Structure 1
Amino acid sequence: MMISGEPNNWGRFGPEDQRGTLNLLTPPVVLAALASATEGRVLSLAMPIRGSTSSPAPTTVPHLRGRPLPQHFMSVDGGDYAAGTKPVGAGLRVADDALIVTHHGTTTHMDALCHMWSGDELYNAHPAARVRSYGAGRCGIERVGGVVARGVLFDVPRHLGLEHLPADFRIPAELLREMGPEPQPGDVAIVRTGWPSVWRRSPEEYWSGQPGLSPEAGRWLATRDVAVVASDNAAIGGLDERQLATEALEDDLHLILLHRHGIHLIEMLWLDELSASGRTDFVFMVAPLAIEGGTGSPVNPLVIL
């Protein structure tokens, strides 16, 4: 059951809705978003996928401790994942990417609306019992399709004159209001904490906690009708030294955004180049893999400045 009195978007887009605030990205809104591109420069916001089968990978890519690293299997010779390369002509052979397995908390990814819930209901009162080991019967990542929207960057450490936020920093709603620009319905709100830069200094420090949005800031973004909330941290909200959220259930950012408001989340972005550009609004594009019933998907978000 929904928490009594908590604002939500259940029923707003119809009783069968499985896309949440992505419904706000109507053709006129998408066309208006395209005007945010003024330079024509394209940036990727994705971290690289370096599978754990590559020996240096665990030390080179930020990830949450204890989570399975991305697995990248490729057929090249008789000793690897598949049976070997395939002859395609005289003197020619081809290497195939056979399989990529990713996990929340280990690479740039998008959370589906079935990723987290409370009680026995997903977003919009869809039954949580439909989420099974073989996939989710409701609100899976395949419902997203492609997202083209105006992106709005809240570069919090840059605004405060810091390289990155402290691990225990929870971004207040008032700070987002102060920074601007004001998010419009259908925007993608991108929040930079700078925390991935800590990995280069010390994985142990990276694992000591993470800064993130406060519950009030999450609610503030929800009232602005954003289509997506994205961040360079691993959980949108902050984490403690056990890599867990510490808020009470009613203040959990995933429940506020995914479960109650139908706002998809994108985590573990790489935002250094976007920060260096000085731009705060731009075209944002992302398309998750159409994994039927998937709780999420690796993504390569693009911005056009």
Structure 2
Amino acid sequence: MNPRWKVRPSESNWGDFGPDDELGRLNLITPEAVLRGVREVWEGRSICLSLPLNLPGGNVLNPRRHPPVLAPTRRDGRPVYNLPVDPDGHAHTDVVCDDAVTLHTQYSTQWDSFAHVGHRFDVEGNGEPVAVYYNGFRAGVDVVGPEDGAPPGAHRLGIQTMAEKAIQSRGVLLDLHALCGDVRQYVGYELLMRAVDAAGGDIQSGDMLCLYTGFADKIVAMGGAPDAAVLDSSCAVLDGRDERLRRWIVDSGIAALCADNYAVEGIPGRPAAEPCARLPLHQLCLFQYGIPLGELWHLSELAHALAAQGRSKFLLTAPPLRLPGAVGSPVTPVATL
């Protein structure tokens, strides 16, 4: 029982971390999990795992998401860029630049918060599904839109909860590109287990799983002019409707699931009886179990560095922006080897 729900999804961990939990499986990142990641630091080498935030470029991958727009702030009607500073009438040698940005939070390398995808579910057990998010937080009450008569935003489950967790743990990289090459392939349980075996296994509770497919490499090569037809037919994606794969994600204890492709899973998901989730892995991870998804991470340098050393584990540091109420965030993940 919970003040927000009488019935939880049959496959979920709602309430397992407390009635008001907003961290989901990030709770599994314990001090022991962090120390396990620290022990993977052998040489003190840090690798940036973010694309430039103006990539992919344009809006062909998602028509509602656009590249960031930078502009100078203004002072007394003047743009503050290379602006001499004379605030008190005295001659000073300073010149100042100060900018603002219009930023679509899930345009490039990003985290999805649990408020990004919810579902209609019968939490009252009365036969009337309502729109809810992880742990039963309600649309219109906890995740508020412009039509709800209050300032819009995620009043619960916002991305700031992930920032406050200061996400850092052991990362495990699976090289799906080595198995699948550049062709689009839906990866189910058996193929994923081949990648796990190639990485030496040993995936533990609180680890963050990263999937290298080569997709972000293609985005970089396109130089800000993505070819949607090419990208739609390129590189591995998880098969979100593979039940054995879904069960492994749940049973593995991973705290987060990240990939260098557009949505971690294939879009669209494989056909299924309706009604169903369009993105079944998003439903499983964000809605049912509180497993955050990282998308469009740039993993090629890390994959090559790990392969050269015959290893797959590293320390991963990846807090999002501490932006209250946002449902997603850009992120600059850092791998330390």
The interval holding the TM-score normalised by the smaller chain is 0.7 to 0.9
CA distance in 1: counterparts of 2:262 and 2:62, whole angstroms: 11
Q: Are the equivalent residues in 1 in contact too, given 2:259–2:294 (CA < 8 A)?
A: yes
Question: What is the DSSP-based 3-state SS (H/G/I as helix, E as strand, rest coil) of the residue aligned with 2:232?
Answer: coil
Displacement of 1:179: 2.4
Q: 1:74 matched to which residue of 2?
A: 71
Counterpart pick for 2:328 among 279, 296, 300:
296
Counterpart pick for 2:280 among 246, 252, 275:
252
Q: 1:203 matched to which residue of 2?
A: 227
CA RMSD of aligned residues (A): 2.8
Q: 1:30 to 1:252 in 2, by over 3 A?
A: same
Is 1:189 matched with 2:209? yes
Q: 1:71 to 1:34 in 2, by over 3 A?
A: same
Q: How does 1:114-133 map to 2 (within 5 A)?
A: 114-119=115-120, 120-129=131-140, 130-133=142-145
Q: Are the equivalent residues in 1 in contact too, given 2:80–2:98 (CA < 8 A)?
A: no
Q: 1:282 matched to which residue of 2?
A: 314
- Tell me the matched-pair count: 287
CA distance in 2: counterparts of 1:117 and 1:247, whole angstroms: 20
Q: Are the equivalent residues in 1 in contact too, given 2:26–2:206 (CA < 8 A)?
A: yes
> Unaligned 5+ residue runs, structure 2?
87-91, 121-130, 146-151
CA distance in 2: counterparts of 1:154 and 1:9, whole angstroms: 26
Is 1:172 matched with 2:194? no
Q: 1:54 matched to which residue of 2?
A: none
Is 1:151 matched with 2:171? yes
Q: 1:156 to 1:123 in 2, by over 3 A?
A: same
Q: Are the equivalent residues in 1 in contact too, given 2:9–2:288 (CA < 8 A)?
A: no
CA distance in 2: counterparts of 1:63 and 1:183, whole angstroms: 36
- Taking structure 1 as the reference length, the TM-score comes to 0.84
Q: 1:198 to 1:131 in 2, by over 3 A?
A: same
> Unaligned 5+ residue runs, structure 1?
52-56
Displacement of 1:3: 10
Displacement of 1:77: 8.9
Q: 1:269 matched to which residue of 2?
A: 297
Question: What is the DSSP-based 3-state SS (H/G/I as helix, E as strand, rest coil) of the residue aligned with 2:294?
Answer: strand
Q: 2:108 matched to which residue of 1?
A: 107
Displacement of 1:218: 4.0
Q: 1:19 to 1:77 in 2, by over 3 A?
A: closer
- Taking structure 2 as the reference length, the TM-score comes to 0.77
If you compute each CA radius of gyration, which structure gives the higher value, 1 or 2? 2
CA distance in 2: counterparts of 1:4 and 1:18, whole angstroms: 15
Q: 2:80 matched to which residue of 1?
A: 84
Q: 1:29 matched to which residue of 2?
A: 33
Q: How does 1:220-239 map to 2 (within 5 A)?
A: 220-239=248-267
Q: What amino acid is the match of 2:333?
A: P
Question: What is the DSSP-based 3-state SS (H/G/I as helix, E as strand, rest coil) of the residue aligned with 1:236?
Answer: coil
Is 1:95 matched with 2:91? no
Q: Are the equivalent residues in 2 in contact too, given 1:218–1:257 (CA < 8 A)?
A: no
Displacement of 1:98: 1.2
CA distance in 2: counterparts of 1:159 and 1:67, whole angstroms: 33
Q: 1:213 matched to which residue of 2?
A: 238
CA distance in 2: counterparts of 1:189 and 1:32, whole angstroms: 14
Percent identical: 29
